[in-house]
Amino acid sequence: MNWARLLRRSVPYLFTAPYFIWFGIFGLFPIIYAFYLSLHHQVGFVAERSFVGFQNYIDLVLDERFRHSLWNTTYYGLGSILIILPVALLLALALHSPGLRFKGAFRIAFFLPLLTSSVVVAVIFGLVFDTRYGLLNNYIVEPLGIERISWLQDGNFVIPSLVLMGLWKWTGINSLYYLAGLQNAVKDIEEAARIDGAGHWAVFRYVTFPQIRPVILFTVILAIIGSYNLFAEPYLMLSNSGDRGLMSMVYLFNNAFGFAKFTYASAMGYVLFFIILALSVAQLRIFRVFKD
Amino acid sequence: MVRSPEEDRRTAATGAAGQVYEPLVPKDTWQAVLSSMRRRSRSIILFLLLTAAAFLTFVPFAYMLSSSLKRRDEIYSVPVRWIPSELEPLNYVRLFEEIPFARQYLNSAVIAFVVVVSVLFFSSLAGFAFAKYQFRFKNEMFLFVLATMMIPIQVQLVPLYLVVNSLGWLDTYQGVFAPQIMSAFGIFLMRQMMLSIPDEILDAARVDGASEVGIFRHIAIPMTRAGFLVLGLLTVLTSWNDYLWPVIVLRSGDMLTVPLGLAALINVYRVEYGMVLAGSTLAMVPVVAMFVIFNRHFVEGLTSGAVKF
């Protein structure tokens, strides 16, 4: 075999090699190292590292703040699935309706929040939610005759505030996902159903919905992952709220980079990894059951 | 027969299928008028609702822009003064004088540039290989790439920090961009784009004596410009707005990126809302400009994952 041919056959390996090498260093190694760390105990850089087995995982289960952060994350996740996604779907259906004018302009308007850095979102919504000067209390809550709400301090409102902010930020992109799904759906079936006398709801429920179900599944999984990844907004906006709005990502960050508990935070990373994985798999299952 | 121009257009657009409608149009003119009115009023209500929603979406931006031009006492005035009594560029001036904002802007730009060039290059290279070559373990390798997309950041954060630390890369550009210069999603997207290149063209080039690298440069890249644009836009957006990883790596004021510099303004002794909002406005300029220019590509890129799911 000559050199030229050997070189030619190795081309696809050479082209894909950079990714695998990079992943080895910045992906695979950290994952393995994280597991190693999670079985040890060490605080800071100088302290001695000692093997403790699964002690960190046991501590996590017993850690009330960790459980609280999981509850908050779940609460926020449920809020986004039950509020943001249905609103996004309605928005998509509205944007999809034939004969609507300025469709492009609407799309741009609902897209803008997505371009905004979460730091900027935290800044703006810190002001929107402000008890005394905030837009929400002054323009919506008070005019309705309700007493001012301490959005970011009152334990009952901290997570709903985050969901409200999520509604502002994530409705647009989710409705664009749905819109893409609707535009890909086969129109003939809808037309046929309508001609056969099916009402709007029936057409949606039995014809349109099944066709966009994969997109819905996709957005639900993204919403769950998103709730576990939510960081900058609660970290910056809720710095004075104590643990009332403690999200799992913030708790992990504080343990790792605030208290330098690298081993404990590694174990937490693994637990969160498995929770996210389990939830995604469960989603896939549930949606499959609905299909049958 | 009363029909709105919209309906006519629709009938014309649906072509043959539209013909089916014809006998269904009610003979009774009054009924037709009524149903047309109902349909029209519904679309007006829809339009108004959407306008209200768009307005609510826009309010926070208007608030940001207007408050960034206000004196400190006016920022807190209730009711809100949407148009400041005098337009004050003071907050913008202070931003450049009191913190190294220009430098931070440059930092963000440098990091975004390195990340986008690298992601585009390596994603298209690997995407090309996965789309247009036959080789052993190809499917296994591609599945592996897809699987790496599922790994959540939580599990990597701490060890990645320790890796970057032991490389001595804390508070450096490379510390920020090293874990971001490749993208499994990018490979997935570019492979999708490269699949549509006809094999005949590649074979013809080979017969003409072109090297594989030459084929990639002169055929594959030019033929998938749209993919480059989509992936490039998404990558720049993500990198420009990123907070979590840079805040772990970067320390000194001169190295911070724009989001970090703004966040630092929130955390200091007294929140300088005027300056923060001025900075927020400036931070949005490049991404909004990009979005306005490439609106369609943005939407296409972001939704490409959902439809193919």
Query: Does the pLDDT value for residue B24 go beyond 70?
Result: no
Q: Which of A42-46, A222-226, B2-6, B207-211 has the lowest mean pLDDT?
A: B2-6
Give the model's pLDDT for residue B10.
Answer: 46
Residue A37 with chain B: CB contacts under 8 Å: 158-159
Average confidence (pLDDT) over A66-86: 96
Q: A284 CB contacts (<8 Å, ≥6 apart)?
A: A217
Please tell me whether residue A40 adopts helix, strand or coil conformation: strand
Tens of pLDDT, residue by residue over B54-92, are 999 999 999 999 989 988 778 877 777 888 877 778 899
CB–CB of B241/B259 below 8 Å?
A: yes
Nearest to B161 by CA among A167, A90, A45: A45
Paired strand residues for A51: A40
Percent pLDDT > 90 in chain B is 64
B contact residues 68-107, partner A, Cβ 8 Å cutoff: 75-76, 78-80
Q: How confident is the model at residue A99 (pLDDT cuts 50, 70, 90)?
A: confident
Give the model's pLDDT for residue B93.
Answer: 92
* pTM of structure: 0.88
Percent pLDDT > 70 in chain B is 87
Average confidence (pLDDT) over A98-113: 84
Residue B157 with chain A: CB contacts under 8 Å: 252-253, 256, 265, 269
Q: Kindly determine whether residue A119 and residue B284, on different chains, have CB atoms separated by under 8 Å.
A: no
CB–CB of B67/A126 below 8 Å?
A: no
CB–CB of A39/A54 below 8 Å?
A: yes
Residue A135 with chain B: CB contacts under 8 Å: 59-60, 63, 80
Average confidence (pLDDT) over A81-90: 95
Structure letter (DSSP) for residue A42: -
Residue with the bigger pLDDT between A203 and B4: it is A203
Q: State the Cα–Cα distance between residues A234 and A225, nearest whole angstrom.
A: 16
Searching chain A, which residue's CA lies closest to the CA of residue B164? A26
Both structure tokens of A195: 């001609």
The DSSP secondary structure of B82-120, one letter per residue, reads: SS-SS--THHHHHHHHHS-HHHHHHHHHHHHHHHHHHHH
Residue A188 with chain B: CB contacts under 8 Å: 17
Query: Does the pLDDT value for residue A13 go beyond 90?
Result: yes
Give the model's pLDDT for residue B306.
Answer: 60
Other beta carbons less than 10 A from residue B183's beta carbon = 25
Average confidence (pLDDT) over A108-130: 91
Q: Kindly determine whether residue B302 and residue A236, on different chains, have CB atoms separated by under 8 Å.
A: no
Please check whether residue B237 touches A, CB under 8 A. Answer: yes
Average confidence (pLDDT) over A106-130: 90
ipTM of this complex? 0.91
Burial category of A156 from C-beta neighbours within 10 Å (exposed 0-12, middle 13-18, buried 19 and up): exposed
Per-position b or e across B83-100, b if 16+ CB within 10 A of its CB = ebeeebeebbebbbeebb
Nearest to A125 by CA among A138, A117, A134: A134
Residue with the bigger pLDDT between B16 and A195: it is A195
Q: State the Cα–Cα distance between residues B53 and A110, nearest whole angstrom.
A: 8
Structure letter (DSSP) for residue B149: T
Please check whether residue B12 touches A, CB under 8 A. Answer: no
Residue with the bigger pLDDT between A5 and A221: it is A221
Nearest to B59 by CA among A150, A103, A128, A84: A128
Average confidence (pLDDT) over A255-271: 95
B contact residues 35-74, partner A, Cβ 8 Å cutoff: 43, 46-47, 49-50, 53-54, 56-61, 63-64, 67
CA quadruple A281, A225, A176, B109: dihedral positive or negative? negative
Residue B241 with chain A: CB contacts under 8 Å: 115-119
Q: Kindly determine whether residue B159 and residue A29, on different chains, have CB atoms separated by under 8 Å.
A: yes
Residue B78 with chain A: CB contacts under 8 Å: 132-133, 138
Residue A176 with chain B: CB contacts under 8 Å: 299, 302-303
Helix, strand, coil shares of chain B, percent, nearest 5, are 75, 0, 25
Q: Which of A19, A215, A269 sits opposite B306 (nearest CB)?
A: A215
Q: How confident is the model at residue B305 (pLDDT cuts 50, 70, 90)?
A: low
Q: State the Cα–Cα distance between residues B65 and B274, nearest whole angstrom.
A: 10
Query: Does the pLDDT value for residue B15 go beyond 70?
Result: no
Q: Which of B162, B299, B307 sits opposite A184 (nearest CB)?
A: B307
Nearest to A123 by CA among B250, B238, B60, B254: B60
The DSSP secondary structure of B187-250, one letter per residue, reads: HHHHHHHHTTS-HHHHHHHHHTT--HHHHIIIIIHHHTHHHHHHHHHHHHHHHHH--HHHHHH-
Please check whether residue B306 touches A, CB under 8 A. Answer: yes
Q: Which of A25-34, A90-99, B119-128, B162-171 has the lowest mean pLDDT?
A: A90-99
Ramachandran sector of residue A117 (left: φ over 0; alpha: ψ -120 to 50; beta: rest):
beta
Average confidence (pLDDT) over B116-130: 97
Q: Kindly determine whether residue A16 and residue B280, on different chains, have CB atoms separated by under 8 Å.
A: no
Average confidence (pLDDT) over B36-59: 87
Residue with the bigger pLDDT between A241 and B308: it is A241
Query: Does the pLDDT value for residue B130 go beyond 80?
Result: yes
Per-position b or e across A88-112, b if 16+ CB within 10 A of its CB = bbebbbbbbeebeeeeeebbbbbbb
Q: Kindly determine whether residue A31 and residue B145, on different chains, have CB atoms separated by under 8 Å.
A: no
